[in-house]
Amino acid sequence: MLYPMTFKPILKKIIWGGSDICPFKGITPVEEGIGESWELSHVEGNYSIVDNGDLEGKSLDELIRTYGKQLLGEKVMDQFGSTFPLLIKFIDARDDLSIQVHPNDELAMKRHNSFGKTEMWYVINAAEGAGLYSGFSQQIDAEEYVKRVGDNTIMDVLQRYEVSPGDVFFLPAGRVHAIGAGCFIAEIQQTSNITYRIYDYDRKDANGNGRELHTELAKDAIDYTMSPDYRTHYKAHTNATVELANCKYFTTNLLDLDTMMVRDFSELDSFVVYICMEGKASIRDNKGNEIFVHQGQTVLIPADTEVVTISPAPNAKFMETYIG
């Protein structure tokens, strides 16, 4: 019988990584330089491993092969096959990440036989003055983009946002973006590891070499459409489901709870992921399974679960994500 599952985090030491992920997740001893924690992953070579209950030690890949639509949902398997379609991460940037873009499904399939990458960010914490880049600040075309990368002026036409906890950015494939130093972020993205690096601030490694740029690949992947505001605006409410993102790849809600909430998923036909952003809670399903979770944990609710009851202790904040 399937039940709510937690997974062992896959911690990534990265040159730009900070020291916030371990304390946030309650991991001791604290490791320095952890840039990412892959919370739920079906990226080859980085399969998540179950951390609780009878299926402890099984990989997400094994679960999908054994349980299929019971775990994922029939509709989800029709759309994405036997791939878990989302990658859930925490990201802690001590330094600026490179400016990058991800291809859409069509281009990624043609070039890499892969899904594209649409994603979203939720800012958990931010140092004073910390910011990120999303989209263009003025209209340019592919020709001007190539020229600006060549003469190091691409930053002049990118939209920078100073950020605070709770800020949300939806990043469809094709949108130029980068996380800035001092940002601690939860990221929900399509299962894809394809990134085109546009600009790396002309940084050099110990041998004086710059990192590889994917100028030509990125040129055709970028969506040059201008938007007046790339930030997601929402009104926070306690004990309500507040929608943060809704696209064909995922729907994400924010649940800020100080009292019990019942979620009915009997008509959903999709798995549900809960990312605990603050506090503690118990999550109980209609089969009698119960799991206690705390800040920094991610829980996978199988698609064959009909009802979930969340009881905060005394309060908890979750991001809730599913397909549909």
What tokens were used for 166? 């709770």
Which residues partner with 280 through β-bridges?
Answer: 294
HSE of 312, CA atoms in CB hemisphere, 13 A: 19
Distance in angstroms (rounded) separating the CA atoms of residues 128 and 31: 23
Count of beta carbons in the 10 Å neighbourhood of residue 38: 21
Count of beta carbons in the 10 Å neighbourhood of residue 241: 14
Annotated active-site positions, please?
A: 197
Check the annotation: does 237 bind a ligand: no
- Residue among 124, 69, 24 nearest 305 (CA): 69
| 3-class state of residue 105 by DSSP | helix
Phi/psi of residue 57, nearest 5 degrees: 95, -15
Check the annotation: does 42 bind a ligand: no
Distance in angstroms (rounded) separating the CA atoms of residues 211 and 213: 6
Distance in angstroms (rounded) separating the CA atoms of residues 296 and 90: 9
Binding residues for Zn(2+): 102, 119, 177
Binding residues: 102, 119, 177
